[in-house]
Amino acid sequence: MPGRIACFGELLLRLAAPGRELLLQSPRLEVQVGGAEANVGVSLARFGHEVAMLGTVADNALGHAALGELRRHGVDTRAVAMAEGRMGLYFLATGAGHRPSEVLYDRAGSAFALAPPERYDWPALLAGAGWLHVSGVTPALGAATATAAADAVRAATALGTRVSFDGNFRPKLWAAWDGDPAVMLRPLLEAAEIAFADHRDIDVVLGAGDQDDAVPHAQRFARAARRAFDAFPRLQRLACTTRVQPSVEHHALGALMATRDGELHQVEARELPGIVDRIGGGDAFAAGVLHGLASGWGDLDSLRFGHAAGCLKHSVPGDFNLCDAQDVLALVRGERLDVRR
């Protein structure tokens, strides 16, 4: 496998209502560890890569337990800083039928959100890393984390470390303070070699583009990709999933990738009936595409693998995709779903 992959972001605790219940419909919550960048890191570790988590967690039992969960899946946590404070939380009520799922964030004032940017010695943290993965969630948390993310990608660029950026636009987080997404996300896109984003993410940074809803999604994506390539010379690929949702439990998931040389790759939508948990599906997709690219695969093969990884995540409870590379390849090949004995 190629060099180490570093993931910078906040490690979270997810507190979910049991089954399809509303929050506190019964007085119980189920706890999982998650976070966009950690989700990517766990998938990549399970695919066989050397992965390091970077960031800050609370120096208490919750923070130590969260780090232990990452280590259990093969992620190196030695570079994660410990600090006084609290863990970031989010609460989840999983939807059903035509009632959508709902997320409530409780992340303000967490140890990660309050960590001073100068805490991170980026040349040391990124030494030996082939890739750095970041997401738009981090700058959405406040000025300190926005500065830290920008510092991280600038250091990566100087070191020759390739940058992967997932848009992950979270309106609820941005609405909690007066940060400007267009300004604060731009440095991450400027540094990225690959971005996981669709036309809406590009519009956030570059301003409104094609507003004609009658234009097919793939065409709008291709136009947005061309705008992004023109604005960000370092960017080589833009990838996203497409999703049609007849109900909460039944989606159809496809995938698109545009390249700087004008190619548009597409994976046809796969029906996903009986969804168990969609949280982390986009992170599983990003990890799958990164696995392919970091392994030297072609663009279409990387996209197919990422799409299959994203599809499989919908069958796994929790934020992490716990399927390994052979599971994903079996879906790519269309192998039969008989019980494995």
Q: What is the CATH number of the domain that holds 143?
A: 3.40.1190.20
Q: Which of the 8 DSSP states describes residue 21? A: P
Indicate the burial class of 76 (C-beta count within 10 angstroms; 0-12, 13-18, 19 or more).
Answer: middle
Q: Per the domain annotation, does 44 fall within a domain?
A: yes
**Residue 298: burial class (beta carbons within 10 Å; 0-12, 13-18, 19+):** exposed
- The pTM is what? 0.96
For the ranges 67-71, 78-82, 174-178, 318-322, the lowest mean pLDDT is seen at 174-178
Please indicate, yes or no, if residue 63 is contained in any of the structural domains.
yes
Identify whether 279 is part of a domain.
yes
Q: 158 lies in a domain? A: yes
Whether 340 shows a pLDDT value over 80: the answer reads no
Q: What average pLDDT does the chain have?
A: 95
For residue 340, tell me if it sits in a domain: no
Q: Rounded to whole angstroms, how far apart are CA atoms 224 and 149?
A: 24
Q: pLDDT at position 2, please? A: 62
Q: Cα-flanking dihedrals φ and ψ of residue 162, to 5°?
A: -75, 140
Contact between residue 91 and residue 16 where contact means Cβ atoms under 8 Å apart: yes
Per residue in 213-249, pLDDT (tens digit) is: 778 889 999 999 999 999 999 999 999 999 999 999 9
Q: Hey, is 204 helix, strand or coil?
A: helix
Q: Which domain holds residue 22?
A: 4-333
Let me know if residue 38 belongs to a domain: yes
Number of domains observed in the structure of the chain: 1
- Span 22-33, mean pLDDT? 97
Reported as a single tens digit per residue, the pLDDT across 97-150 is 999 999 999 999 999 999 999 999 999 999 999 999 999 999 999 999 999 999
Residue 337, C-beta contacts closer than 8 angstroms, at least 6 positions apart: none
Cα distance between residue 196 and residue 339, in whole Å:
34
Q: Are the C-beta atoms of residues 195 and 238 closer than 8 Å to each other?
A: yes
Does residue 341 fall inside a structural domain?
no
Band of pLDDT at residue 320, cut at 50, 70 and 90: very high
339 within some domain: no
Task: Please provide the size of the chain in residues.
Answer: 341
